[in-house]
Copies of this chain bind each other. A is one copy, B any other.
Amino acid sequence: MKIAETLEEARETLRLLKGQDRPVVGLVPTMGFIHEGHLSLVRKCRKECTVSVVSVFVNPLQFGPAEDFADYPRDMERDVALLEKENVDLLFAPSVDVMYLPDSSTMVTERKLSSVLCGAARPGHFDGVCTVVLKLYNIVEPDKMYFGEKDYQQLSIIRRMMKDLDVPVEIVGCPIIREADGLAKSSRNIYLTAEERKDACAINEALNEAENLFRDGERKTCVLEYVVLSRLLQTSAVKPEYVEVRDAVTLEKIEEITRPSVIAVAARVGKARLIDNRVLR
């Protein structure tokens, strides 16, 4: 009998006992209405994995009762065409009934990183995210999962959850993809009128201003937050929800930047709630 006292020993012994030599499987979980942001994840997955899987599932569990679950844009035909073109191996597109049994009663919750930023504004949102991401992991059993850095807090929470639960998966974060005018790609951009869309660009511009200040040596987070906020308040359509500089890993509030940090922004623009961020190192 082998005795393992660490995870590494246990996994290595089991790998030998199982004699596995299976291909690398990658999963890109999405809520569909595929745009260039998603496609950048798919392309990275295709490049790094032998089997690439994309899931399309608008997850009711991560929407609050007053949020846009019913209105969230969907276009499966277009999604299928786009993913076919990328040579994806498997599209997993379950219905809500397939994903959630009526008597389901189990939730996965991350209790620290989830309590701030979007978690404060959207109670239960990240419980829904954690639960569905773990379910998708268990269904597909990928070696790697791909997430966009636009949803920076989500990415941090998923990394934390996977580590805490010892899930043997590599979480790959991919850079934000932007429109030509700088607005971060998002399925929800479709909610914007032409006017709102113009104002929404201020979010990226404000983050640019803060990043430039940081590059010029500014380290006080209140100054950087103020710069972003005052730029946003110059628009008529953008209603900021939060502008915060936080530790890039723990998401803890900081007053002076001495380690990798992130400026995170959430704002309402017309019907849309948009988020964006900039990592500062």
Contacts and interface: CB of A to CB of B under 8 A. Distances in A.
Interface in A4-23: 4-7, 10-11, 13-14, 17-20, 22-23
Contacts of A279: none
A182 interface: no
A154 B88 CA distance: 40
A112 B105 contact: yes
Contact of A138 (B92, B111, B160, B167): B167
Contacts of A140: 10, 14
A165 interface: yes
Number of copies: 2
A134 interface: yes
Interface stretch (A94-102, A193-201, A262-270): A94-102
Interface stretch (A79-87, A171-179, A211-219, A236-244): A79-87
Contact of A4 (B14, B91, B130): B91
A166 B135 CA distance: 6
Nearest to A106: B164
A58 interface: no
A89 B6 CA distance: 16
B164 A105 contact: yes
A253 interface: no
Given A17-B89, A88-B1, A138 B165 contact: yes
Given A14-B141, A20-B20, A25-B18, A6 B105 contact: no
For this complex, into which size category does the number of interface residues on chain A fall?
35 or more
A234 interface: no
A270 to B, nearest CB: 34
A222 interface: no
Contact of A101 (B14, B18, B141, B164): B164
9 smallest beta-carbon distances between A and B, as pairs: A106-B164, A105-B112, A138-B166, A104-B164, A106-B161, A135-B166, A3-B91, A17-B51, A10-B92
24 contacts: A1-B91, A3-B80, A3-B91, A3-B93, A6-B94, A7-B98, A10-B90, A13-B90, A14-B51, A14-B53, A19-B22, A103-B250, A105-B110, A105-B111, A105-B164, A106-B109, A106-B110, A106-B130, A107-B108, A108-B109, A131-B165, A135-B166, A138-B168, A139-B166
Given A2-B91, A7-B98, A18-B22, 9 more contacts: A4-B93, A4-B94, A14-B51, A18-B23, A18-B51, A19-B22, A103-B112, A105-B113, A108-B108
